[in-house]
Structure formats: structure tokens, C-alpha cells
Chains A and B, each alone.
Chain A
């Protein structure tokens, strides 16, 4: 497959073809949503066109080569019906109090336990909630992720295909986890889904989200966004397992804001995608707020998985702890650029970030760039990064005990990820990640 690209493009060049004004207006005509949302789309589309002419931020994108992304090959409105079911790793692994599924940008399932609905919990597709509780959505949608931040955020906001919304009222505790699926089925399908979670003061909930492709070789595009709004004293556990096939582009802006004494545990697993770039912000906005970020990545073949993370401490006595663990094989590449930012006045902040990479082949590559930006003078902020090959002595030790080389590698990789598994309180997620790792190693089915 060969295609010419305009001569000497900038470091990142993404054409608008396939998502031009005609495509935008066609998409708009298919939507049945409140006027305010349509107006936001129009503003975002104008911004998208402007940002297409503006270079992407050099520091964020210089290591991520998206020149191979051809938007013209994707569409938000593929014809035909979406399948009702997708085989996934997470679903059916535990009891869920509710589930929302989208395939090719269209809702295929939305359910919530009646007992939770009776207590005021909202859990459904974005279009459902926009219609039924528009005002609730209006003030929260894009309140943490700014659609003007770059062309991908604007692109997403203009061509939004839907998504999952969870709203938990004050002091309501949702014990059972909830489930959200973002699926891609047809070749050339684009998903522009948005996940919005709002926990009011004292609320608690767990949402497990998964992305999956129905087939291993269909090209797909996901330009998504996640917004997590954790109110005072609220506790949110959010897991996103990115498990696209290796022909899918995954570009996402994800951000969480935690208010006074609130707590966010955020786990990101990157297994699939041809190229993934996630801009992940955790904003600790109120005193005593806490954020724990876990990342588990296993990249093989020629996958490129990139994370641009920021832990922003805006208030005093806030705590953040980020741990990303990457395993790479073949010619895969993982890039992690992490920043802890402490704003003036955020005294007594405790921030930590760490990235470990395990390299299973000589041709893979891990780039880890931690950073600190501190504008307060009474803080504790530390960071670290490690990268290394599998220790031959460890493999030898295991093989001496009758374990095959293959199984020995599996045990070592599992052991490497255990630091992440230990931090995840949800057993179903631990099991699912372990299964995904086995499949990547060619052991599981």
C-alpha cells in the first residue's frame, strides 16, 4: 500500500478530508439533540478548521508520528446496521449494575438497575441523557476537557457520535460496578465517543470501560474524550481497557477533576491500537483531593502507544500517585511523557510519578520523559523511570525448574505487571488484564 503525501509536511500533518464541512453538515442532520449541543458542535467545527492550520504542540507530538493517519478513509456514518453483540474481555466477568454499549458510534445497549435509577442515578448514552436531562449535561460536558486545546479535541467535539454518561447524586453509593463498551465493527468506521462521569458530594461508583473491535483486521478510528468530575468527598474508580485491533487509531483527551477530599483511582490499560495517543490530565482542585493513576501497556509488532500525562495540583494537601508499566516486544514503541505541575499556593502537595518499561526484543523502543513544574515551596514531588531487558538469569532460573522458556517469559511479564494489579481493587479487572497479557504472549485463547 503506497500513498503520496504532500511534499515536506510539518512534523504532524492531518488533512481534513472526510471530515470537511459537507461531512459535518451531513452528520449534524442525523442528530436529534438539544440546540445548545448543536451550537457547541458548530463552534467546535470552526475551531477544528482553524486548528488544522496550526501546528500541533511540539513537545506533545514530536515523538508521535501521525503522518500515516488518513482521515479520508474514515467516516462517522458508515451504512448498515451495527451488530448487537461484540466479544469482549470484560463483559460477563462480573455482575454489573448497568451497561451502555456503542458500536460504530451508535448505541446498541443501555440498562441500569431499577434500584439505582430510583435513587437518582443516571447511566445511559449521551444522547439519551442530553434529551432527558439536558441541563445537567450542559454545564458539565466539556467542562474539564477543552475542545479548543488541539485539533483532535475540536475534531471530537464537532463530530461527537455519542458516548456514556454516569451521574451519581449526593451521598449515593453504587456498590456494583457499571460497564461501558465502545466497539468498532466496519472497516473505516470512526467513533467519536465521549465518556462523562459526574459524582456529586459523597457519592461513590466504579465504571469499567472497554474498547474493542469485532474483527482483527478492519481499520478503525477513535477520536474520543473522557471527563471525570469527582465532587467533594466522592470516590470514583474508573478503568479503561483499550483493546482495539492493531489497525485502529486511538486519539483521546482524558481528564479528571477532583474536588475537596475526593478520590479518583484511574486505571488505563493499553493493549490494542495501531497508534494510540492519550492526553491524560488529573486535576486536584480541592484541598485533600487524591488521584491515583495506574497504567498497564503491552505493545507488540509495530504498535505505537503514547501517553502524555499531567498531574496538576491546584490546592494544598493534595496527593497524586502515577505508575505506568509498559511491556514492549517486536518493533513496538511506547512513549510516556509525564508532568507533575504544582500551582502557586498548593503547599504540602505530595506528588509521585513512575514509569517502568520491560523490553522483550532488541528492536522495541521505550521513551520515558518525566518532569516536574513546581511553583510552591513546601512540597514533596518525586519521579522516576526505568527501562530494561528481561534478566537472562531469571529465565534460566525458571527453566532449571522445568518451566518452558515461553512460560518463563509469561511469568516474568505477569510478575512485572503485578505492581499494577496490586493497586487495582477490582478482581474482574485484574483477571481481564492477566488474560489480555496471556493473549498477547500467544498463550491464551
Chain B
């Protein structure tokens, strides 16, 4: 059973709504949406490239290249061209620390 591990400081967000971290041997994008924190594998299941710079809207992230959208809470694809889910991580903030747990 995996445990939560610190991956970043809250201050790493700066003014941005997301940070990229390397966790569980994978690239992960951690996104703040209002008061909630989400973390998904930073790789689009359609073209295998990063989602980092994608638009975040309605609790989903859009692939900046072909427009696939993924639900940040479940990792499920919401529209074509993606048909496969992406990995989702449990994320939380404790004090000033950002913590993730592998699925």
C-alpha cells in the first residue's frame, strides 16, 4: 500500500494553477482548481505527449495538440481523439507541502 509523499512546496505554484513533478517514476501534472487539488499523469493517452500546457476548464484538462480532454478527477477521456484513460493520483496539501499517493 503506497503512502503520500511530498512532491513539492505550495510556493512552487507561484501564480500558476499547475506544477509538473516527477513522481512514481512518471511525469505528473498537479492542478489546483479552486480549493481542490488534482494530479494526473502528464501524458496524453492519444499521442503520448505532455498535457502540461493544456487548458484547464470544468475540472478537465485539454491536450494542447489535438484537443482530447481528460477528467482531472477520474482520468477518463471526455472526447475524441483520446479513448483511453490516464493515470490519476491522490493529491493533498498539508501545511505548505504538496503530497501525492500512487494509485
Contacts and interface: CB of A to CB of B under 8 A. Distances in A.
Q: Do A and B come from one complex?
A: yes
A3 B22 contact: yes
Contacts of A6: 20
A11 B50 contact: yes
A65 B27 contact: yes
A367 to B, nearest CB: 7
Interface in B57-101: 100
Nearest to A69: B22
A4 interface: yes
B22 A68 contact: yes
B7 interface: yes
A2 B52 contact: no
B103 interface: no
A4 B12 contact: yes
Interface in A1-41: 1-9, 11
Contact of A3 (B7, B13, B49, B50): B7
Contacts of B20: 5-9, 67
B34 interface: no
Contacts of B27: 5, 65, 67-68
Interface in A22-65: 62-63, 65
A63 B50 CA distance: 9
Contact of A65 (B7, B16, B50, B100): B50
A3 B7 CA distance: 6
Interface in B23-55: 23-27, 43, 47-50, 52-53
Nearest to A65: B27
A331 to B, nearest CB: 10
A321 to B, nearest CB: 28
B103 to A, nearest CB: 14
A5 B22 CA distance: 7
B50 to A, nearest CB: 6
A193 to B, nearest CB: 27
A2 B7 contact: yes
Interface residues of B, number: 27
Contacts of A365: 48
A410 interface: no
Contacts of A68: 22, 25-27
A443 B9 CA distance: 46
A381 to B, nearest CB: 27
B56 to A, nearest CB: 12
B48 A1 contact: no
A9 B51 CA distance: 11
Interface residues of A, number: 19
A302 interface: yes
B6 A2 contact: yes
B53 A8 contact: yes
A7 B12 contact: yes
Interface in A379-398: none
Nearest to B14: A7
Given A2-B6, A367-B48, A8 B22 contact: no
A359 to B, nearest CB: 14
A124 to B, nearest CB: 39
B18 to A, nearest CB: 7
Nearest to B19: A7
Contacts of B7: 2-4
A8 B52 CA distance: 6
Nearest to A67: B27
B48 A11 contact: no
Contact of A2 (B9, B16, B21, B50): B21
Nearest to A367: B48
Contact of B23 (A2, A7, A9): A2
B82 to A, nearest CB: 13
B19 A302 contact: no
A11 to B, nearest CB: 6
A6 B19 CA distance: 7
A333 interface: yes
Interface string A324-346: 00000000010000000000000
Given A2-B6, A2-B22, A68-B27, A7 B16 contact: yes
Contacts of A3: 7, 21-23
Interface of A: 1-9, 11, 62-63, 65, 67-68, 302, 333, 365, 367
Question: Which 4 A/B pairs are nearest by Cβ-Cβ distance?
Answer: A4-B8, A7-B19, A2-B7, A2-B23
Given A1-B25, A5-B19, 11 more contacts: A2-B22, A4-B8, A4-B9, A9-B20, A11-B49, A62-B49, A63-B47, A65-B27, A67-B22, A68-B22, A333-B48
Interface of B: 5-9, 12-14, 16, 18-27, 43, 47-50, 52-53, 100
7 contacts: A4-B9, A4-B12, A5-B20, A5-B22, A7-B14, A68-B22, A367-B48
